[in-house]
Structure 1
Amino acid sequence: MQTHQRTLLTVICEAVLEHKLEQALEKLGAPGWTISDARGRGGRGVRSAGWDTEGNIRLEIICNRELAQTIADYLHENFYANFAMVCYLSTVEVFRADKF
């Protein structure tokens, strides 16, 4: 089976941002995304996810590199200054290129 190269944008941030991020992704043209709960410790302390909006979420988007960079830039410009957020890009191999 042939694979195709795409970019995975992973965002770990405060759960309170979930709906704002979904709206932004829709507006920016993300083909789809996955959101899951995340727990851990970082520069802003321990995030326990004890309350729905107290914890962290992990947002993953697979798309072309240009769109991933556009989304990452938007998040940086609009959220980094006021919210705990980490973004990183990874190159991934997908089987169904038409999905991404």
Structure 2
Amino acid sequence: MLTFPFKLVTIIAEPVLEPRITQELRRLGATGFTVVEGRGQGSRALHAAEIPGINVRIETIVPPDVAERIVDHIARSYFTDYEVIAYLSDVAVVRGDKYRQSPNPGGL
């Protein structure tokens, strides 16, 4: 089976940030994303959300250059003022063309 190397970007954030972050992912070059609600507690043990302990996990599979752009943007825009974490994982996908956006995604 032929696979292609990509990055899985995982962002865990306060639910109030979901619309903003998912919109930014598209502008930064992601072709899609998955959002899952969850519970947990991090090192800060604080939540600005109405429901304590609830967060969202936002995941997208992207080429390595897009992954770097996304994580850099998330770090600059959210780490200081919000309860947000982001991490990258190496993944091998079967349909590589599905995860590539046409040139000039119009980053932020």
Bigger strand fraction = 1
Q: Which moved more, 1:63-72 or 1:17-26?
A: 17-26
- Looking at structure 2, the residues matched to 46 and 39 of structure 1 have their Cα atoms a distance apart, in angstroms, of 13
- Looking at structure 2, the residues matched to 69 and 63 of structure 1 have their Cα atoms a distance apart, in angstroms, of 10
Alignment of 1:27-66 (within 5 A): 27-45=27-45, 51=51, 55-66=54-65
Structure 2 gap segments, 5+ residues each: 100-108
Shift of 1:46: 7.1
Query: In the alignment, what sits opposite 1:70?
Result: 69
Kindly report structure 1 stretches of 4+ aligned residues shifted beyond 2 Å: none
- Looking at structure 1, the residues matched to 96 and 34 of structure 2 have their Cα atoms a distance apart, in angstroms, of 17
Q: Which moved more, 1:18-27 or 1:70-79?
A: 18-27
Q: SS at 2:69's partner residue?
A: helix
- Looking at structure 1, the residues matched to 76 and 46 of structure 2 have their Cα atoms a distance apart, in angstroms, of 25
Query: In the alignment, what sits opposite 2:5?
Result: 5
Q: Which amino acid aligns with 1:2?
A: L
Shift of 1:26: 2.0
Structure 1 gap segments, 5+ residues each: none
Superposition TM-score, scaled by structure 1 size: 0.88
Superposition TM-score, scaled by structure 2 size: 0.82
RMSD over aligned Cα, in angstroms? 2.0
